[in-house]
């Protein structure tokens, strides 16, 4: 509902004032804004797996000639090119997107080769774009392959001065191998990276059998393959994601237990879950140690270098490494969750898809690229064949051609007479007039005939490709296999069986222990085997070392799985598992019980 109120400004100024309900204006404006965010910023296209900013960066770098074998160029030059021609937003949005395409811990197959500081897994930010340099990787070249053969639609840029591709030809299934994440308006996408070899094998299997059972497809692509390695626990979350488009995938760090002495052990972390900041993880562990939630850790250090990641967690002598490790999984980001949402743009519309549907959209895109490329090559080959046929006519009738040319007043008359005399087109006549005399030698004439025969073979082959879907699918499979052989590598992330809710007590051997509590509140436990029956006349073992003013007030036997109930004079009751009481030597005093229970200074044990 709107109503025109007339013109404003001097003599109206050519502007109208329209009365409108503010809720109508807000609704339409917000819908326009949200669609702009969804289509132009936050979500990748299902065909090439790229958001507009990434696509523009790769295309601009390709236009600048920054291929893998070429010299690096300053990042500021690339950012300026993208901003000036294709992406009317802030420079940080372009540079941040380019930085992520360099990082081998963010992308499984990086698309930009960087020189300089492009950040780290510790969360360090990249150097300013005036300091770093970049060029395309070989994988990026696969995404741009054949873009100059009219294989994709080009659209005007923001000011109509140049054209840009609406999608890249994408010879590799980039959406799945590198994944994507983005938050739009009212929706989000979070696609994990996968192994190139596995995805290519799945695409080829689906081309051969589009109705392949889901179980067979999942056997080919067992799950995500994160660039940081680590473990994925269980198949349930993966199955949910591949079958419904949404799933919860549990990731876990790779850690090993090393023995460094007779009774000294440590935990060494060599791989962490995807998108986890290593420095923050170490700070998190250190804070838990300070809060006494991980009391068995005595030292923590980062020994990572260019050879790889290595975080060393030194344990106390009495610590049980498996218990400490599982507490780390429970309380830190050494175990985290990847919430999968397989959402991408299909024909400009956001859609949550199954794995099979995503792969089939890629197949359809590549099939269209092959058709359009073949049509382009056929048109060019037919044009070349047409010119060569005209040149052959000229060579076969060279004396008459020379006579016509010499007898003509100018090139226009000569062209017209050649067309009439030999039934040639204007293009053929122009090619004959432009032909060099060297082309009339016997060797050049032979080359001309060989080239014409080759071009006719190419034309016949291209027509065969355009006339046979089986041949086109065969080419699609051959190109995919070539990409897989060139860029494929072994899986980094290991998929293991699911781990249920973990109870630390499951790792504790059930055995009887002797617990001693001194008058001043020192507690310890030690094995019942430490004590032995005393024979007549024998000397007893000393069970606890105490100060002169302290003595053992309580001594009793309990199982490691029992609870120890402690009452304070204020009427509070605390409980602790027997196995949580530190083991002490036969003559050791033990540890203050208030440290185990976090009692206040005013509270006393009754």
Active site members: 131
Which tokens sit at 166?
Answer: 């609406």
Which segments of 342-441 does DSSP mark as H helices, in order?
355-396, 398-406, 411-422, 426-434
Q: Which of 49, 46, 44 minimizes the C-alpha distance to 357?
A: 46
Contact 281, 297 (CB under 8 A): no
Distance CA 84, CA 387 (A): 40
Instruction: Using CB atoms within 10 Å of the CB of residue 603, give its burial: 0 to 12 exposed, 13 to 18 middle, 19+ buried.
Output: middle
**Which residues make beta-bridge pairs with 335?**
252
The tokens describing 383, both together, are 């044009």
CA distance 343 to 44: 8
Task: Report helix angle 469-487 to 196-208, nearest 10.
Answer: 170
Region class of 380: left (phi > 0), else alpha (psi between -120 and 50), else beta:
alpha
Residue 146 near residue 373, CB atoms below 8 Å: yes
Q: In which residue are the tokens 């996968």 written?
A: 194
From 557, 556, 573, select the one nearest 565 (Cα to Cα). 573
- DSSP assignment of 149-175 equals GT-S-EEE-TTSSSEEESS---SS-HH
For 463, the enclosing helix (H) or strand (E) is helix 442-466
What's 529's DSSP letter? G
Of 545, 492, 478, 550, nearest in space to 521 by CA: 550
Q: Which two tokens stand for residue 432?
A: 């004959």
- How far is residue 55 CA from its own chain's centroid? 16
| Contacts with 135 (C-beta within 8 Å, 6 or more apart), sequence order | 61, 66, 67, 68, 70, 71, 72, 73, 112, 113
Q: Six-digit token pair at 444?
A: 């050049």
Cβ atoms of residues 590 and 522 within 8 Å: yes
Q: What Å distances lie between residue 467 and 37, 45, 146, 455, CA to CA? A: 41, 29, 21, 18
Residue keyed to tokens 């050879």: 307
Distances from the Cα of 304 to the Cα of 278, 491, 492, angstroms: 10, 22, 18
CB 192 within 8 A of CB 226: yes
């Amino acid at each position: 509902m709107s109503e025109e109120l007339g013109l404003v400004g001097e003599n109206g100024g050519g502007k109208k004032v329209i009365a409108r309900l503010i809720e109508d204006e807000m609704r339409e404006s917000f819908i326009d804004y949200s669609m702009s965010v969804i289509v132009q910023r936050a979500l990748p296209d299902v065909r090439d797996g790229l958001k507009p900013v990434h696509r523009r960066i790769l295309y601009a770098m390709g236009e600048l000639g920054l291929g893998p074998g070429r010299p690096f160029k300053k990042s500021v030059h690339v950012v300026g090119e993208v901003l000036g021609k294709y992406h009317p937003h802030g420079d940080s949005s372009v540079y941040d997107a380019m930085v992520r395409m360099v990082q081998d811990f963010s992308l499984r197959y990086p698309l930009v080769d960087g020189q300089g500081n492009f950040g780290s897994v510790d969360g360090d930010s990249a150097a300013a774009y005036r300091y770093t340099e970049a060029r395309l990787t070989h994988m990026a070249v696969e995404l741009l392959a054949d873009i100059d053969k009219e294989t994709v639609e080009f659209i005007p840029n923001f000011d109509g001065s140049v054209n840009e591709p609406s999608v890249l030809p994408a010879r590799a299934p980039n959406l799945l191998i590198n994944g994507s994440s983005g938050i739009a308006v009212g929706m989000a996408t979070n696609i994990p990276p996968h192994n190139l070899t596995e995805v290519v094998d799945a695409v080829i299997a689906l081309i051969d059998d589009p109705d392949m059972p889901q179980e067979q497809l999942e056997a080919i692509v067992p799950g995500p393959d994160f660039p940081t390695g680590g473990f994925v626990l269980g198949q349930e979350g993966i199955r949910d994601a591949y079958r419904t488009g949404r799933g919860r995938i549990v990731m876990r760090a790779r850690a090993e237990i090393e023995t460094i002495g007779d009774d000294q052990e440590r935990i060494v972390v060599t791989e962490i879950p995807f998108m986890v900041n290593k420095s923050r993880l170490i700070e998190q562990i250190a804070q838990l140690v300070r809060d006494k939630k991980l009391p068995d850790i005595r030292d923590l250090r980062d020994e990572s270098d260019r050879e790889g990641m290595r975080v060393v967690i030194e344990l106390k002598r009495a610590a049980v490494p498996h218990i400490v490790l599982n507490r780390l999984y429970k309380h830190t980001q050494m175990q985290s969750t990847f919430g999968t949402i397989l959402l991408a743009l299909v024909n400009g519309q956001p859609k949550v898809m199954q794995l099979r549907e995503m792969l089939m959209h890629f197949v359809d895109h590549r099939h269209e690229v092959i058709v359009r490329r073949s049509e382009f090559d056929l048109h060019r080959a037919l044009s070349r064949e047409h010119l060569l046929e005209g040149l052959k006519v000229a060579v076969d009738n060279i004396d008459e051609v020379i006579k016509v040319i010499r007898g003509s007043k100018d090139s226009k008359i000569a062209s017209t007479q050649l067309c009439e005399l030999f039934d040639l087109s204007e293009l053929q006549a122009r090619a004959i007039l432009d032909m060099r005399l060297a082309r009339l030698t016997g060797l050049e004439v032979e080359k001309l005939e060989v080239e014409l025969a080759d071009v006719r073979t190419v034309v016949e082959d291209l027509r065969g490709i355009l006339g046979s879907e089986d041949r086109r699918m065969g080419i699609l499979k051959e190109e995919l296999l070539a990409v897989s052989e060139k860029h494929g590598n072994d899986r980094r992330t290991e998929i293991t069986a699911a781990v249920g809710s973990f109870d630390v007590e499951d790792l504790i051997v059930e055995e009887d222990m002797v617990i001693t509590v001194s008058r001043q509140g020192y507690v310890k436990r030690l094995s019942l085997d430490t004590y032995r029956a005393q024979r007549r006349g024998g000397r007893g073992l000393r069970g606890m070392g105490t100060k002169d003013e302290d003595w053992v007030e309580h001594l009793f036997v309990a199982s490691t799985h029992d609870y120890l109930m402690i009452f304070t004079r204020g009427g509070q009751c605390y409980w602790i598992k027997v196995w949580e009481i530190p083991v002490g030597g036969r003559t050791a005093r033990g540890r203050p019980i208030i440290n185990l229970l976090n009692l206040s200074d005013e509270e006393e044990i009754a």
